[in-house]
Amino acid sequence: MTALPDAALATARAEAQNAVRALRQRKAALDDDSIDLILRDARSHYAWSDRPVPLDLLHRIYEITAAGPTSMNCCPARFVFVTSTEGKARLAKALKPKNVEKMMAAPVTAIIAYDPNFWTELPFLFPHEDRRPFFEGKPEHSEETAFRNSTLQGAYFMIAARAVGLDVGAMSGFSNAEVDREFFAESDLKSNFLCNLGYADERALFQKLPRFAFDAVCSFQ
């Protein structure tokens, strides 16, 4: 993909602006039930039914996730969907004991990973200006950017999964080094966190834990 000529760029920008205006006219904001579903009343789940997750639903979740913003459209996140018995056994070796049962019972466990070399794809992802010099020869900056933006994409992923009717349970109780050895030994990818996906068994839920009030954590300058 290359930068668009000036005339084509102007047309593309106008189309993008009109699309946003049209969307806002169709739906200015989410209703309360929609907000409850994806965040306000959503829960992290630890037990799962045996109902399978269709492959096309995983494609849809990724499509929604990929639309979320990242700096310079860098899109560093990479997703590995662990569904097989063999894959689950490999992943179990990296988990803390209390997390193994949760992961094994989930129909899908996604490894949200990131590519520190994401910047090599910027000519495709950010075609109107060459931003590779921002990262080339700067591994610490590349790592920091990849980790931050893949975390953002992981959050989009969880919201997208809830939006299409799945339940999620993110996990950080595992060894990143072990996951990387087991799944990414032949690449430069690195794991960020894990996320179980499926249709939850709500009987394992307990009460929703407290959150800070606005005035406790928000301020104005």
CB 150 within 8 A of CB 117: no
Structure token digits, residue 20: 């946003």
Instruction: Please tell me the distance from the alpha carbon of residue 34 to that of residue 181, in angstroms, as a whole number.
Output: 39
Q: Per residue of the chain (221 residues), give pLDDT as tens.
A: 567 777 888 888 899 999 999 999 999 999 999 999 999 999 999 999 999 999 999 999 999 999 999 999 999 999 999 999 999 999 999 999 999 999 999 999 999 999 999 999 999 999 989 999 999 999 999 999 999 999 999 999 999 999 999 999 999 999 999 999 999 999 999 999 999 999 999 999 999 999 999 999 999 99
The model's pTM: 0.94
Q: Cβ(164)–Cβ(61) under 8 Å?
A: yes
Element (H, E) at 77: strand 77-82
Domains and CATH numbers, the chain: 43-203 (3.40.109.10)
Burial class for 140, CB neighbours closer than 10 Å (0-12, 13-18, 19+): exposed
